[in-house]
Amino acid sequence: MNDKGNRMKQTILAILTLMLFSGCSIKETSLKPYSYTLEPMLKLERFSEHNKDVLKVAYIDAPSGLNTRAILYKKDGAMQPYKYGTWSETPPLKLQHLITEALMDQHHFSSVIAGTSMASNNLVLEPILQNFEEVFREDGSSYVYVSLRFRVVEIKSGEVLGSVKLSSKKEVTNTNGAAGTVEAFNAATAEVIKSLSLWINEVRK
């Protein structure tokens, strides 16, 4: 009886163990990436009067590696995506929207339109996204680096009125996975857009 009872206990224990691991496996495989939105806090100077220019913000050119919804980080020289975090839109597309809205709200230009608009314009802002990643140091700390190159072109003459490279580097202070990285991206993006607004207002007063 004792042997039979022991065998029964072992069988029940084996079944419970199998169920436990099966449950964990199901839970892990059912996890889906959380979608983050780039939402920088922008406080730009608003002009009381605007000039007569209509500025079009062209679609942002970017390397194929940055034209993705993956939130990327660089560690040991290799670029990798966060497993459980993605962008709601690709950075080039979202940045185009953010720049268009920020310059429009600033009221320096008569109108600011997105690259898909069929409205006539006399100026175009051509941005190129060069860096948009988190970088890990050997000690485990990290920072995000955002850099874009801009140029303003007059449509009629084809003249380049100005060009500049703007960048921002922000420490990741919240180490809670992708969420902390997104906070730093928001801060860096806000700084770049603010610098852009100051620069472009000097290029075309």
User: What digits encode the pLDDT tens for the residues 52-111?
Assistant: 999 999 999 999 899 999 999 999 989 999 988 999 999 999 999 999 999 999 999 999
Query: What pTM did the predictor assign?
Result: 0.81
CA distance 66 to 145: 13
User: Which CATH code of 3.40.50.10610, 1.10.8.50, 3.40.50.300, 3.90.45.10 fits the domain covering 35-203?
Assistant: 3.40.50.10610
Longest dimension (CA), the chain: 99
Please tell me the predicted confidence (pLDDT) of residue 163: 98
Per residue in 187-197, pLDDT tens? 999 999 999 99
Q: Taking the domains of the chain in order of start, what are their residue ranges? A: 1-31, 35-203
Chain-centroid distance, C-alpha 121:
28
